[in-house]
Structure 1
Amino acid sequence: MTDRTTDKKLIVLDMAGTTVADGGLVERAFERAAEHLGVEPGSADHEAKLQYVRDTMGESKISVFRHLFGSEDLARRANTAFERAYGELVDGGLVSPIPGARETIAKLRADGRTVVLTTGFARVTQDAILDALGWRDLADLTLCPADAGGRGRPYPDMVLAAFLRTGAVDDVRHTVVAGDTAYDMLSGSRAGAGTVAGVLTGAHDRAALTANGATHVLGSIAELPALLAGTGTEPA
């Protein structure tokens, strides 16, 4: 197969850390949720759990809480508290676009590409972010784990759901996935995307991105149109 960038009409973009700057709100919301469940701030248990949250940035949040709290009941309680806390922080005006993100999405769509925004958050949180930024109509489609059968990253499900729902390309290798975490890279590579681009505006560094399947590493999402035009970053 000839790997032509002009064929890459489906663009699947992560939100927090990739197109959206949240200023550490994930950690702040987790701390509120953990305290709600009786995890003492500053304790060894708190620090261990917070480190796991950092290490698994990009994963479905309910999956993270299942690992941290064991029982399904506790995981769901933690997830509900997390989503509430994150929503309050978002409503407080503490999210903003990554510089150039809105323009990048508009450029990609103007070039005839289909853009899908994905997240590891629940739908209610994703919608709160979209509303806070005025992004409801910015992309062609938005997906959260529940929209793809309940499994978030590092599973390939959201990328494949984007492929199936949009019908934008007839070969999954004509899909581009971009994100800031190792789990974004795994999700894209496991789905068979032809381009899996890591960005350095979020949770993980170049080494983590390339080790988990990045074909390219960009300074930010603003560099993606140039990459697809064949004038951008060399492969990772």
Structure 2
Amino acid sequence: MSPETTPDTPGPTAAETIRHKLVVLDMAGTTVSDGGLVERAFERAAAHLGVEAGTPDHAEKLRYVLDTMGESKISVFRHLFGTEERARRANAAFEEAYGELVDGGLVTPVPGARAAIEELRADGRTVVLTTGFARVTQDAILGALGWRDLADLTLCPADAGGRGRPYPDMVLTAFLRTGAVADVREVVVAGDTAYDMLSGRRAGAGIVAGVLTGAHGRAALTEHGATHVLGSVAELPALLRESP
């Protein structure tokens, strides 16, 4: 009898048999509801650079901000304001305003999100929370919700070389830093925007789940690569248990 088939040879543990052990979750719109704070913070940032609320220019720029939800905010402001100096001024004003609004208690968890993250980790999965915001804003959100220790790791674009979505960098950084899986096809990405879907697909994630609690609808999520579309992140633990 070969060593591989002897009765004394231990079989795989329960943890080793779990597939899709690394779960990378977006924050705003996926696990966190911010009650329109992006629009309010943008108004302050735009005013800081002389863009008046109620003007066509303001409306056009706000529409771009909303259409690119999920992208790194500094990248959005580079597009809107042209120069690096103006983009950084706008981004600093945006982050400051958003942080102040977060402290006002307007940020809340998406219903079932905390329980879903706890359930994923209880199932033996590693959970990473990602955002297009700067670290200071991400920390403010986590602190306001009491989520600082909820996930195994939190990442912002600066943690992944500065490039946010739709680049795959944050997903791949989660893959490299956690060492939770040996194959990117065992990674799960979930988010509410087209950019979340693109980021997951470009990283090679095996499951890229869109959720309908945020910026984009089913058509946009599917068009940009969603393998599954869920009502909310609360449905993710059951999906992963059922996935082959």
Which amino acid is 2:183 matched to? D
SS of the counterpart of 1:7?
coil
Unaligned runs of 5+ in 1: 232-236
How many Å separate the matches in 2 of 1:110 and 1:122?
29
TM-score (norm 1): 0.95
Residue 167 (structure 1) aligned with residue 176 (structure 2)? no
Deviation per residue, 1:78-102 (Å, 9 max, x gap) = 0000000000100000100000000
1:12 pairs with one of 12, 16, 24 = 24
Counterpart position of 1:234: none
2:48 is matched with: 36
**1:88 matched residue in structure 2:** 100
Map Cα deviations across residues 173-200 of structure 1 (whole Å, 9 max, x no partner).
0000000000000000000000000000
Task: Give CA deviations for 1:81-126 in whole Å, capped at 9, x if unaligned.
Answer: 0000000100000100000000000000000000000000000000
User: Which of these residues, 69, 84, 109, is aligned with residue 72 of structure 1?
Assistant: 84
Q: Is the 8 A contact 1:107 1:225 kept in 2?
A: yes
Q: Is contact 2:132-2:165 (8 Å) kept?
A: yes
Q: Secondary structure at the match of 1:228?
A: helix
The counterpart of 2:194, out of the listed 162, 182, 185, is 182
Secondary structure, counterpart of 1:138 in structure 2: coil
Within-5 A mapping of 1:94-109 = 94-109=106-121
Assess if the C-alpha contact under 8 Å between 1:6 and 1:228 holds in 2.
no
After the TM superposition, which parts of structure 1 deviate over 4 Å for at least 4 consecutive aligned residues?
Answer: none
For 1:6 and 1:55, the matched residues in 2 are separated by 36
Aligned twin of 2:234: 222
CA contact (8 A) 2:201 2:208 kept: yes
Tell me which residue corresponds to 2:217: 205
Q: CA RMSD in A?
A: 0.9
Runs of at least 5 residues in structure 2 that lack an aligned partner in the other structure: 1-16
TM-score if structure 2 supplies the norm length? 0.92
For 2:223 and 2:44, how far apart are their aligned partners in 1? 32
Q: CA deviation at 1:25?
A: 0.7
Counterpart CA distance in 1 for 2:24 and 2:209 is 10
Instruction: Using the TM superposition, give the Cα deviation of residue 6 of structure 1 relative to its aligned residue in structure 2, in angstroms.
Output: 3.0
Residue 108 of structure 2 corresponds to residue 122 of structure 1:
no
SS at match of 1:117: strand
Q: 32, 43, 63: which one pairs with 2:75?
A: 63
Contact 2:197-2:210 at 8 Å conserved across structures: yes
Q: Looking at CA atoms only, which structure, 1 or 2, has the larger radius of gyration? A: 2
Q: CA deviation at 1:229?
A: 1.1
Q: How many residues align?
A: 227
Provide the rounded CA distance (Å) in 1 between the counterparts of 2:66 and 2:18.
Answer: 36
Report the 3-state secondary structure (helix = DSSP H, G, I; strand = E; otherwise coil) of the residue aligned with 1:45. Answer: helix
> Given that residues 13 and 179 in structure 1 are in contact (C-alpha distance below 8 angstroms), is that contact kept between their aligned partners in structure 2?
yes
